[in-house]
Amino acid sequence: MPFYYKLGEIPQKRHTQFRQPDGSLYAEQLVGTLGFSGVSSLLYHINPPTKISRIDEPVPFKPKVAEGIKLAPHHLRTLNLEVTGTDYLDARKTVMLNNDVDISICNPSEREMNYYYKNAASDEVVFVHDGSGDLLTQMGRIPFKPGDYLVIPRTVIHKFRFDEGQTRLLIIESHSPVETPRRYRNHFGQLLEHSPFCERDMRPPVELVTETEKGEYRVQIKKEGYLHQYYYEFSPFDAVGWDGYFFPYAFSIYDFEPITGRVHQPPPVHQTFEAHNFVICSFVPRLFDYHPLAIPAPYNHSNVDSDEVLYYVEGDFMSRKGVDRASFTVHPGGIPHGPHPGTVEASIGKKETHEYAVMIDTFKPLHLTEYAVDLMDKNYPMSWSEDHPTNGPRAADMMD
């Protein structure tokens, strides 16, 4: 994170005595990246975070990659999956992955987790498609609503509390730090004036959640394909204060300000986050290109060195027919893709678009999982043919 934040009570100077009401010392914990050279925060706990009561056997937690998938465009339909599992981890279903990123859907039925969760190896970006509630973390509470990206750095212990109603989440698990785009930051880390969002759009925790009651508390820690089962006699939410640059935050897709031009702008103008070997972009309502001969629809393009994933959120998707909200389209590197037949001419003269989508561009090939195979629209690779059903006069009526 490029800005400093503080919450709760902390001593005037770091690494100095900070005592509890009974005279004992609070337990100081530095949470930092890149050894001692990256961003960090200092937390002050009632109990030493190292005081484990027991560790149970690890539980396997790794998706299986599908074999024999053709090199072709893919369309995954997930809208009708109202529930994908019970609790937050059980409901997390990975649909594609590579060595840099895992992409999952998660539609849990349970309202609140009865355990705590820590990803010890990856940052997580949770996009809230449907639902609202609170992200509860050891660094405080973050209320969330539809359209929010929840950026949770690795090792931050957290749990979700969902409100009543449908919960639909897109989870992007990054095996490297998730950052704002470098071209929108100065060398101090501050977002520049031409950035499509700024620090005031980011919502850090609003208040600490300090739990002091003794008992048995389970933390499931994800690492190397397992959920490791840790137990404590006190809550991991026992911090009384912290400060620094390393913390979870929310950012709404509705606060992303689009960059437009006289002619069609390339996808990087929609970039919201970056990590090693992939980026995350936000497509939001915007005015179309204003050159008198502009073609608003995107041009055909070949992904020479990247795979392109689009997750459709809301709206009328100008260049694509036959997809609905909560669909994924996957266009792998090595083959061209572009607008469906008829959409280029239809876009001419249009003044604006009202679509929302999340795009993930990876610079290494993605692999579909066995779970994703059952979601595939087998006819999608042929959907650029003029006589394909989705390109007929009643294509809108055939969307499901």
Q: What's the CA gap between 378 and 374, in Å, rounded?
A: 10
Compute the average pLDDT of residues 313-329: 82
| pLDDT bracket for residue 329 (50, 70, 90) | very high
- Dihedral sign from CA coordinates of 374, 328, 322, 168: positive
Q: Residue 76's closest CA among 275, 328, 273?
A: 328
Assess whether pLDDT exceeds 70 at residue 394: no
| pLDDT at site 301 | 86
Query: How far apart are alpha carbons 388 and 395 in whole angstroms?
Result: 10
pLDDT grade for 122, boundaries at 50, 70 and 90: very high
Report the Cα 319 to chain-centroid distance in Å. Answer: 24
pLDDT (0 to 100) of residue 60: 97
Q: Is the pLDDT of residue 400 over 60?
A: no
When pLDDT is cut at 50, 70 and 90, the band that residue 371 belongs to is very high
pTM to 2 decimals?
0.93
Which pLDDT score is estimated for 320?
66
Q: How far apart are CA 4 and CA 42, in angstroms?
A: 12
Q: Quick one: pLDDT at residue 388? A: 67
pLDDT at 163 over 80: yes
The long-range contacts involving 380-386, CB below 8 angstroms and separated by at least 24 positions, are 380/73, 380/74, 380/75, 380/322, 380/329, 381/70, 381/72, 381/73, 381/74, 383/75, 383/321, 383/322, 383/340, 384/338, 384/340, 384/341, 385/341, 386/341
Tens digits of residue pLDDT in 72-93: 999 999 999 999 999 999 999 9
What's the pLDDT at 323?
A: 86
- In 3D space, the residue among 274, 96, 262, 237 whose CA is nearest the CA of residue 170 turns out to be 96
Which residues partner with 6 through β-bridges? 243
Beta-carbon contacts of residue 257 (< 8 Å; ≥ 6 apart) = 196, 197
Q: Dihedral angle at the C-alpha atoms of 124, 125, 126, 127, nearest 10 degrees?
A: -170
SS3 327: strand
pLDDT at site 389: 63
The stretch 61-72 carries a mean pLDDT of 95
Question: pLDDT of 211-261, one tens digit each?
Answer: 999 999 999 999 999 999 999 999 999 999 999 999 999 999 999 999 988
pLDDT reported for residue 302: 84
SS3 content of the chain, % helix, strand, coil (to 5): 10, 40, 55
Instruction: State the average pLDDT over residues 342-364.
Output: 91
Tell me the Cα Rg of the chain: 23
Of residues 395 and 152, more confidently modeled: 152
Q: How far apart are the first and last CA of the chain?
A: 40
What's the chain's average pLDDT? Answer: 92
Q: How confident is the model at residue 23, as a pLDDT? A: 97
Q: What mean pLDDT do residues 149-174 have? A: 97
Better pLDDT: 295 or 76: 76
